[in-house]
Structure 1
Amino acid sequence: MDGGGFSHFPGEALDFLTALRANNDRDWFAENKAVYERAVKAPAEDFCRAVTGRLEEMTGLPHRPKIFRIHRDVRFSRDKTPYNAHLHISFTAETGSTSQPGWYFGLEPERLTAGTGVFELHKGDLDAFRARVAGKDGERLARLIGNLPADVRVSKPELKRVPQPYAADHPRADLLRRKSLTGWMDFANPREACENGFMDRCFDAFVRLRPLFDWLSAAARQPGR
């Protein structure tokens, strides 16, 4: 499948993020901004275009990519370092639903990961998710998660107890204790992002995570939701 000409990030991208982590101040960034623009920002835009096209072809849904800002919002944080020493990107299917799952990519000095899912289900969406989990469709989700590749990392439940009105010993208690659901595939070495053919390996991770996306997306697109 065509990757839109994008194969991999330049090695300079990971070098820049590693150096930024060690020199996280405005003077250093100003001196190296050209490197950021060339080695991180521009390749990330190319990556977004390539991945968006593939996701739309795979799912049949329009997607909107988002490159998260390198500037940190430090207004309410004790950590006043001004920059994010990582590259985070999301791809959201444009269905108009507040519970539509997304796809996620992260490149950091010590981690390279691809994921899918929903980070936060709000009241109405959360109630609908739990009702669906408690029924027959929840059995399918449990099997789906159990059949994911062994190297898929599924997020942990946020709640200690099963919420009312569901029984504490419900067979899908683990799923009912969730307020979000995401699955992740971690690459062995962040440097893989800078190797030939990375685009194909990254999209292969999305393909392997697709069953989770499809289950969540089906709920988000139900009539009246």
Structure 2
Amino acid sequence: MSDPFSQLIPEARAFLTDLSQNNSRDWFNDNKPRYEAQLKKPALHLLDQIAAQVGGGVTTKLFRPQRDVRFSKDKTPYNTHLHMLWMMPGKGTRPALFFGIGLDYVSVGGGIMGFDKTTLTDWRSSVDGPTGSELAGVINALVAQGFRLSEPELNRVPTPYDKEHPHGDLLRRKSLTLWNDLPDTRFDAPTDAITETLNNLRPLFDVLNRAV
């Protein structure tokens, strides 16, 4: 059975390529019906379909095409990517599943994009305790499966932790995400790729819910 979203990636990339060459409000407004039909509508349906698989308590988001240019030297008005998010059920800082289509990438991933001050404190306390080994084990298993691990934001292990801490890599983080970069051969079956990634990331989501 073919994926009902088999055209989402090629049509989104074609639109985004055209947008990158005509990044203006006039062009976007002229082509808004195409954006609505080929990107927004199927993306919203995909969000609902994956949310149904996750179960109750999930929150979905389709990121807006408009860029926030207030503090940017680049004043082009629109993003040349299509991003969506499923915030997992849970309490506190909840991990999320992400799906992104860009001009040079198609990726599914998950984790926590950024720790706020309270979450960062909880994260470091968890990493310094027994949960640190559990986190490291889950992350290492995902990397062994081919997931791409985001880089730590800090160059050094923060005080008061020992610079030779066994989980120093985790302590140097202000976020944690792992990514499954899709090859061209999987572009016609995004639902399967997202579902597979979600299932692989469930152990990470479980330990993150307990860690922060």
- Shorter-chain TM-score above 0.5: yes
Partner of 1:223: none
- In structure 2, what is the Cα distance between the partners aligned to 1:95 and 1:187? 28
Equivalenced residue count is 209
Percent identity between the two aligned chains: 40
1:204 counterpart = 2:202: no
Letter in 1 for 2:132: G
Letter in 2 for 1:104: F
1:8 deviates by 2.8
Letter in 1 for 2:94: Q
1:23 deviates by 1.2
Partner of 2:39: 40
- In structure 2, what is the Cα distance between the partners aligned to 1:198 and 1:115? 13
TM-score after normalising by structure 1: 0.86
Partner of 2:139: 145
- In structure 2, what is the Cα distance between the partners aligned to 1:217 and 1:125? 11
User: Residue 184 of structure 1 aligns to a residue in which SS?
Assistant: strand
1:68 counterpart = 2:63: yes
1:127 deviates by 1.2
- In structure 1, what is the Cα distance between the partners aligned to 2:140 and 2:11? 39
In structure 1, which of residues 119, 125, 135 is the aligned counterpart of residue 129 of structure 2?
Answer: 135
Letter in 2 for 1:23: N
Letter in 1 for 2:148: R
Partner of 1:103: 97
1:94 deviates by 4.6
User: Residue 31 of structure 2 aligns to a residue in which SS?
Assistant: helix
- In structure 2, what is the Cα distance between the partners aligned to 1:212 and 1:64? 18
Q: Structure 2: which 5+ runs fail to align?
A: none
1:215 counterpart = 2:207: yes
1:95 deviates by 3.5
User: Residue 147 of structure 1 aligns to a residue in which SS?
Assistant: helix
1:7 deviates by 3.6
Alignment of 1:10-25 (within 5 A): 10=8, 11-25=10-24
In structure 2, which of residues 146, 150, 153 is the aligned counterpart of residue 158 of structure 1?
Answer: 153
User: Residue 21 of structure 1 aligns to a residue in which SS?
Assistant: helix
1:32 deviates by 1.1
Instruction: Calculate the aligned-residue CA RMSD, in Å.
Output: 1.9
- In structure 2, what is the Cα distance between the partners aligned to 1:192 and 1:22? 26
Letter in 1 for 2:11: E
Q: Structure 1: which 5+ runs fail to align?
A: 221-225
Instruction: Answer whether contact 1:130 1:176 (CA < 8 A) is retained.
Output: yes
1:168 counterpart = 2:166: no
1:96 deviates by 4.6
User: Residue 23 of structure 2 aligns to a residue in which SS?
Assistant: coil
- In structure 2, what is the Cα distance between the partners aligned to 1:155 and 1:140? 18
